[in-house]
Structure 1
Amino acid sequence: MSDQLTKHHPDSPNGCDDVVRNTSGNREFGDVLNVRLSRRNLLKGGFGLAAGSFMSFGLSGCLSSGGSGGSSAFTLGFDAVAKGTADALRIPTGYTATYLYRVGDPINAVTGAYANDGTDLAASFEHRAGDHHDGMAYFGLNAAGLAKDLGNNARGLLCMNHENITQIFLHTVAEVGAGFDKAARVPAQIDKEVNAHGVSVIEVVRNTNFSVNKLSGFNRRYTAASPMEISGPAAGDDLMVTPYSTAGSATRGTLNNCANGVTPWGTYLTCEENWAGYFKRPASSSLGAKAATAQNRYIGSGSSNGSYGWANPAGGDTSGTGLYDRWNITPTGADATADYRNAANTMGWVVEIDPFAPAATPRKRTALGRFGHEGAMPAKAVAGKPIVYYMGDDARGEYIYKYVSTAAWNAADADGGLTAGDKYLDDGKLYVATFAADGSGTWTELNIANPLIAGYAGYTFADQADVLINCRLAADAVGATPMDRPEWTGVHPVTGEIYVTLTNNSDRGKTGTTNGGKSRGLDAANPRYYDDGEGNKGNPNGHIVRIRETGDDHAATAFAWDVYLFGAESDQFGNPSINISGLTDDNDFSSPDGLWFSQAVPGLMWLQTDDGAYTDVTNCMMLAALPGKHGDGAAVDVANLAVPSNGGADQTVTTYAGKDAAPATLRRFLVGPKGCEITGITETPDGKAIFVNIQHPGEDTSAADIGTPANYQSHWPEGGSARPRSTTVVITKDNGGLIGA
């Protein structure tokens, strides 16, 4: 997702939404149990009795059926790429990166080449690459390019998210110089920005290198204005009714698409993350108490005009179809059929796209809940067992979720397309995680039948559809654990263990009324409050939580957890309460974001960063990892700075850390150009080519004069005086071998 420590605000230029909205007062682990154990002298000895009952190891629960299930002898076989701030993409010796798909690149043979000076028309972006490339997946096509062949390494469909825009690089020098008045936007500018969001589906073919087949009938764009179906338990609910669909069964657009997922039946899941800030909303005082509670939990009161002012075209909305009014959720009519008060309820979902069916309308799968979806990654599909997805809600103090289908997997549905999605993704149970201080955890179903939800004093739920539409409030009601910005999830294809990146949290340890004054405190799974030496306090470098389901059953309602890795700067090596994982110059990192397991090389994990705390030393990066297993480390006492939310007293928190990350098992593979985020990764089935997205190079435009290219933070990938462009690169090994070996 887009940056973190200082941006995520609904009125920020990039539409981010990391403002804390969790006022539930849910208890942190330190409030539940404060266990004080000795620190590193236990590291080699295991967790002890409290967590020991949750440890048992096996090989069930692999992510997908595509890779082998055995333990791999694979070792990392490249020299670590050094940190650095050069405006270049740097990869190990023996590898080659080629550019595949940049912002504005045409996806057909009719649309002209991208001028990259802001003059390209809004309508052309329905046939061009969108901006801010993010999560993606590769789906093999047969040699003729006509049908699915998921094993084809040389021809496939690449599905890719376009999360956001860098506004000043999308428009002309004159337009940027005139400014962007959120109260009176130029309609053509709005249209271009809307079309630059969404999803691409493109056919890629490998000859010597991969290239986009512009003649493919599969190529298309979905934008923030494209028709979408609403599917599942919330479809047709009163809270989904708009003038566009008085039946509450359809909407327009998918928005702020960040991480992604795939299905066992060969479809793509795009996930709507920081959608909330795009909407113009009224003050709480003009809403009823229930509506105000719901909006405050998702959108907040700061979205007076929305991130970009799309609700305010100069001269008003004259489209006749509510094309711009749909971004204004202020009640103005007699009911929801007369205004767009419910439009925000149609965003925040997992959206299923069938890459092989261009005529099919994408479906928003409401059974998976509405929040800031960072992704939806599946456990392995096993015949006779339910389909399970793991998801993070990316904002400070939000939760980790999983979805368990009612239907058991039947391999006969492997070619079922969206019909299979109806079966498995429209009917199931949504759970939220609570982490206990002893290393155990529970999944609680978010169901209207739960007395904690039905009787919740903070919000009156009407029915199960209301629970799913406002599942953040339902998670508050059951006492879920607020986390340090849950982002990507991944399931280890050998151990079946679940990994969740917690990017960072600048609010940890602060005082305030948020979450009853407690959500900013410390707990076992979010245990650090420190100063990185550069003025960043809280948890500026992030960490990665690891979960092992009880009995290795992904449908279980209990689990054990530890922290696989703690992000830190290597110069904190001597501080055992900051650099807990023992990171060195070869593998130190900050703000883990993207996390993805190779299916061709079981056990190989790729870790991507979106950092704002370490960028004086290095641009964002991607690391290769060979993670161990839950419980391979020990209990650790983390001695923190004086914690304001703890009355100013020092606070020591016991957590459970994985074993130290030696360079043999964690190594830097790639460093990106200036101002970028590294996000999105997929591979060919043989693991010999990986696709990686370099998002928003040159993002820091605070001091840039758009008319003076020398002031751009980056000119990557074209160099010279060019405007920077988000770009998909293909990385191959020069000897044709497995990537990372």
Structure 2
Amino acid sequence: MTDLIESPFGYSDGDVDTNRSDAVTLNELADQRYSRRTLLRGSSAIVAATMGGSLLAACDSNDSFRADVPPTVTAGGAVTTSGGRLVTLTGTAYDDKAITAVAWTQTAGPTVTLSNANQDIATFLVPAVAQQTVLTFQFAATDNSGHTSTATTTVTVNPPALGFTAVAKNKLDVVTVPTGYTVSVINRTGDPIAAGVAAYKNDGTDTNFAQRIGDHGDALYWYGLSATGTRDPNSSTRGLLVQNHENINDQYLHVAGATTVNGARPESEAQKEIDCHGVSVTELVEGANRAWTVKQDSTFNRRITPATAMAFNGPAKGSDLLKTAFSPTGVAGRGTINNCANGTTPWGSALTCEENWAGYFRRSGDNANRSAKELTALSRYGVTSSTGSYGWSTVVAADAANTLFRRWDARAGTGAATTDFRNEPNQFGWVVEFDPYSPTSTPRKRTALGRMGHEGCWPGAFVVGKKPAWYMGDDSRREYMYKFVSATAWVAADADATDRLAIGDKYLDSGTLYVAKFNADGSGTWLPLVFGQNGLDGSNAAYPFADQADILVNTRLAADKLGATPMDRPEWTASNPVTGEIYLTLTNNNAAGRPLNGTDAANPRHYNDPKGSTAQFGNPNGHIIRIKEADTEATSFTWDIYAFGAGADLDKTNINLSSLDASNDFSSPDGLVFARATHAGGQVKPMMWLQTDDGAYTDVTNCMMLAAQPGTVGDGGARTITNTGSGGATATQATRIGAAPGANLRRFLVGPIECEITGVDSTPDGRTLFVGIQHPGEGGTPAAPTSHWPDSQAGGAVAATIRPRSAVVVITKNDGGVVGL
């Protein structure tokens, strides 16, 4: 018992009954217990346990409150995971004194960035490792007496692997993604992208598409912005989304669909349709709770349409073949159209590709005013329509000086080429470079890369001292694969240049264009399309070439002459960021394009995959080929076929050669993009996104997107298959097949009704994925739409008259990890 303190006056009155002990009172004990730091502080369960069981026990002795007793800590159990996933470190600390500080510290393994390192719960994104690697972390707690205790835990990391359960095939009117992911929608057709532009009513009365998101969103790419609004390639929270707008659903753009009056299209309707084509640039910002918004009044926002001023660069600039009434010198142009796939550059510019442009032009009945060469070229490129898509050439403009409609009439008159628009088709079919960070800059058509139905233009590896290359598909049945090799070796400092189009001049205006020839033994050759070589000159009987500009304007004819390998609709190209191997989607072919006796090793299948009662002979499901080169300057390569599209139920011996099952069967591959090398998904064994544009398999499922982790060229072997024709005839064909993808290919997303999945990119950290959903409900009418997406994405009842719109979906993983892993 504590001694009493006597009063100096010899009498203490009530003080005799006062306990002067230093022992903690019941209330003080409760307050002290409640203040201790634990993993779940704030949790009612922890508070109850602390205030209940420990409170009375602490009254039995003062020993637990000795000043020299350090905190007790734990660091949680060991964890095993793989690259790109989010790990949560769970620490606990308790003491009879107040805990004043806690901290997580990494003590071994590849360095990671810890979030909330000074709290009980810390998280980090797991880095990519090539082999199993152990990371060690220490949790430390310090009390108010200055004592510190530590505990250690380990995280065992395996190489990155796909980390989701495959989505089942379906025909729902929503975007379906795996459990654990969230979908939101931005950049819908008609959404305003300039200050003061009204919200889209989606009833056919909207106008001013030069300041709205266009239709048929296609390939897209993210360009990062810093907090101050300058280029930042590593920014994952603010940036510019560049997206192509390939085509239109004209029935939904007008009140009751497109109309014609006395054989002419109304100017207002045609103007709207034209402006819906091209490219959009929009500023996106990530806000609270990872919600993404489009900054409507951003000064970066831009629409590039078929009316936007363009400049021609490269060998064809100023050629007689480019001269028109608008551009009598052949150096200027207007606009870009039918922009499908894309490309990019390390200096931060965007490449957009003009694909099926030929059908927009009216041209017939003028043969007498054309030379034999012109007629050969026009036929080879399909500029043969008697009306032109959407009939824009029939518009009688209110302003007689406005030639934006008349330009679509490519019929030749009796005067010179500069008196009409006979050469206007030659102004399209190019790769266009523009600077997304400079909204007033003039895009440049890079003629050195050739003129064709450009599907995409994807770069290979950039190695200092080596000439960089871009790889391209010409999207039509029996067309070719190309690559352009710059004349200039790569200089790393050019990636940081501020005059981005000037750097484009340096690398994209001079070089060699090649076309691919695939050999039966798994080898291949790049054939140079150079004037004066291999018969590419005036001696060529089928089409006598005048110069290099003639070869580039009429690239298909030059490739024909060299004997390039006709392919089953060559579309998107993509480069594996680790191996450098190039992938090319071959969407499909039919019996007319490649009959039973027309197959070859690189395009080997001919079979029937009936759709209901309708036969589909040929290669209706498509395949993906890949090539391996020594470097971008190589003129030879090896190849095999990564995967064959097919239903899981089809014959695995001759048709379903990749042994696809219900988790990964697909048809008509189109979009193809590898994950960025800036995050775990694009490292070690990079993840590849594969999208479909399907008509053959839509009786079973809507179009889809799959994720894959491919192997390498040569991981399979040779195979001989038996093909079947419509009359029951058979023929054998040898080919080269990659290893069956198995679980390293699985379905990640299924889109809404009648859509195409096209366009995909992520932020540099891989935690946000942008995916294009094109033309949902394309078979419907204004009165009876066949889809109501994206309104249907929210669930619940949607009015039967709601019109569908193309849009971009933003996909995030609920735990904050890399999408797909």
Decide: shared fold, TM above 0.5.
yes
> Quick one: which amino acid aligns to residue 432 of structure 1?
V
The residue number in structure 2 matching 1:40 is none
> Quick one: which amino acid aligns to residue 218 of structure 1?
F
Where 1:105 maps in the other structure, the secondary structure is coil
Where 1:571 maps in the other structure, the secondary structure is coil
Q: 2:450 aligns with which of 353, 358, 369?
A: 369
Distance (whole Å) between structure 1 residues aligned to residue 593 and residue 363 of structure 2: 30
The residue number in structure 1 matching 2:572 is 488
> Quick one: which amino acid aligns to residue 234 of structure 2?
G
Q: 2:786 aligns with which of 713, 728, 738?
A: 713
User: After the TM superposition, which residues 171-250 of structure 1 pair with which residues of structure 2 at under 5 Å, given as runs?
Assistant: 171-173=254-256, 175-176=257-258, 179-180=259-260, 183-208=263-288, 209-250=291-332
Matched, 1:463 2:547: yes
Where 2:535 maps in the other structure, the secondary structure is helix
Deviations 1:251-290 (A, max 9, x none): 1110000000100110000000000100011247332211
The residue number in structure 2 matching 1:566 is 644
Where 1:585 maps in the other structure, the secondary structure is coil
After TM superposition, give the deviation of residue 567 of structure 1 in Å: 0.2
The residue number in structure 2 matching 1:676 is 755
> Quick one: which amino acid aligns to residue 571 of structure 1?
D
Distance (whole Å) between structure 1 residues aligned to residue 375 and residue 813 of structure 2: 54
Distance (whole Å) between structure 2 residues aligned to residue 470 and residue 304 of structure 1: 22
Distance (whole Å) between structure 2 residues aligned to residue 683 and residue 427 of structure 1: 31
Distance (whole Å) between structure 2 residues aligned to residue 591 and residue 285 of structure 1: 37
Distance (whole Å) between structure 1 residues aligned to residue 492 and residue 204 of structure 2: 48
The residue number in structure 2 matching 1:289 is 372
After TM superposition, give the deviation of residue 575 of structure 1 in Å: 3.6
Where 1:290 maps in the other structure, the secondary structure is helix
Q: 1:593 aligns with which of 649, 670, 688?
A: 670
> Quick one: which amino acid aligns to residue 279 of structure 2?
V
Deviations 1:609-659 (A, max 9, x none): 000011011000000000000001111111001378xxx842100001111
Structure 2 unpaired stretches of 5+? 1-126, 132-157, 793-797
> Quick one: which amino acid aligns to residue 156 of structure 1?
G
Distance (whole Å) between structure 2 residues aligned to residue 78 and residue 401 of structure 1: 35
Distance (whole Å) between structure 1 residues aligned to residue 205 and residue 764 of structure 2: 39
Distance (whole Å) between structure 1 residues aligned to residue 446 and residue 594 of structure 2: 36
Q: 2:599 aligns with which of 477, 500, 522?
A: 522
User: After the TM superposition, which residues 413-428 of structure 1 pair with which residues of structure 2 at under 5 Å, given as runs?
Assistant: 413-414=494-495, 415=497, 416-428=499-511
The residue number in structure 1 matching 2:92 is none
Aligned in 2, Cα 1:227/1:527: closer, same or farther, shift over 3 Å? same
Deviations 1:423-453 (A, max 9, x none): 0000010000001111111000101111321
After TM superposition, give the deviation of residue 210 of structure 1 in Å: 1.2
Aligned in 2, Cα 1:189/1:382: closer, same or farther, shift over 3 Å? same
Aligned in 2, Cα 1:183/1:522: closer, same or farther, shift over 3 Å? farther
Where 1:90 maps in the other structure, the secondary structure is coil
Distance (whole Å) between structure 1 residues aligned to residue 691 and residue 588 of structure 2: 14
Aligned pairs, how many? 647
Distance (whole Å) between structure 2 residues aligned to residue 540 and residue 258 of structure 1: 21
Contact 2:478 / 2:593 at 8 angstroms: preserved in 1? Answer: no
Distance (whole Å) between structure 2 residues aligned to residue 345 and residue 411 of structure 1: 35
Query: Structure 1-normalised TM-score?
Result: 0.85
> Quick one: which amino acid aligns to residue 712 of structure 1?
P
Matched, 1:167 2:244: no
Q: 2:167 aligns with which of 81, 94, 109?
A: 81
The residue number in structure 1 matching 2:493 is 412
User: After the TM superposition, which residues 313-712 of structure 1 pair with which residues of structure 2 at under 5 Å, given as runs?
Assistant: 313=395, 315=396, 318-414=399-495, 415=497, 416-454=499-537, 455-507=539-591, 521-534=598-611, 535-549=615-629, 552-572=630-650, 574-599=651-676, 600=679, 601-602=681-682, 603-642=686-725, 649-662=729-742, 664-701=743-780, 704=781, 706-707=782-783, 711-712=784-785
Where 1:201 maps in the other structure, the secondary structure is strand
The residue number in structure 2 matching 1:12 is none
Q: 1:276 aligns with which of 347, 358, 363?
A: 358
Distance (whole Å) between structure 2 residues aligned to residue 323 and residue 740 of structure 1: 45
Where 2:454 maps in the other structure, the secondary structure is coil
After TM superposition, give the deviation of residue 215 of structure 1 in Å: 2.3
Distance (whole Å) between structure 2 residues aligned to residue 509 and residue 694 of structure 1: 28
Aligned in 2, Cα 1:481/1:284: closer, same or farther, shift over 3 Å? farther
Query: Structure 2-normalised TM-score?
Result: 0.77
Matched, 1:738 2:818: yes
Contact 1:639 / 1:653 at 8 angstroms: preserved in 2? Answer: yes
Matched, 1:156 2:236: no
Deviations 1:508-534 (A, max 9, x none): 5766xxxxxx9x811111111100133
Where 1:308 maps in the other structure, the secondary structure is helix
Where 2:307 maps in the other structure, the secondary structure is coil
Q: 1:262 aligns with which of 344, 350, 369?
A: 344
Where 1:102 maps in the other structure, the secondary structure is coil
Distance (whole Å) between structure 2 residues aligned to residue 668 and residue 274 of structure 1: 29
Matched, 1:118 2:209: no
Distance (whole Å) between structure 2 residues aligned to residue 402 and residue 284 of structure 1: 35
> Quick one: which amino acid aligns to residue 553 of structure 1?
D
Contact 2:617 / 2:725 at 8 angstroms: preserved in 1? Answer: no
Where 2:342 maps in the other structure, the secondary structure is strand
Contact 2:366 / 2:413 at 8 angstroms: preserved in 1? Answer: no
More off after superposition, 240-249 vs 126-135: 240-249
The residue number in structure 2 matching 1:44 is none
> Quick one: which amino acid aligns to residue 774 of structure 2?
Q
Q: 1:308 aligns with which of 381, 387, 390?
A: 390
Contact 1:69 / 1:494 at 8 angstroms: preserved in 2? Answer: no
Where 2:598 maps in the other structure, the secondary structure is coil
Distance (whole Å) between structure 1 residues aligned to residue 397 and residue 687 of structure 2: 53
Q: For the aligned residues, what is the CA RMSD?
A: 1.7
Contact 1:182 / 1:305 at 8 angstroms: preserved in 2? Answer: no
- Structure with larger Rg: 2
Deviations 1:271-328 (A, max 9, x none): 0000010001124733221100000010243x11101111111x46843131211111
Deviations 1:644-696 (A, max 9, x none): 8xxx842100001111121x200000000000000001110000001000000
Where 2:242 maps in the other structure, the secondary structure is strand
Contact 1:530 / 1:640 at 8 angstroms: preserved in 2? Answer: yes
After TM superposition, give the deviation of residue 368 of structure 1 in Å: 0.3
Structure 1 unpaired stretches of 5+? 1-66, 512-517
Q: Percent identity?
A: 54
Distance (whole Å) between structure 1 residues aligned to residue 592 and residue 467 of structure 2: 36
Aligned in 2, Cα 1:224/1:556: closer, same or farther, shift over 3 Å? same
Distance (whole Å) between structure 1 residues aligned to residue 819 and residue 734 of structure 2: 38
> Quick one: which amino acid aligns to residue 665 of structure 2?
D
Deviations 1:469-498 (A, max 9, x none): 000000001000100000000010111111
Matched, 1:141 2:222: no
Distance (whole Å) between structure 2 residues aligned to residue 413 and residue 594 of structure 1: 29
Distance (whole Å) between structure 2 residues aligned to residue 107 and residue 728 of structure 1: 14
Distance (whole Å) between structure 2 residues aligned to residue 589 and residue 203 of structure 1: 34
Distance (whole Å) between structure 2 residues aligned to residue 718 and residue 465 of structure 1: 49
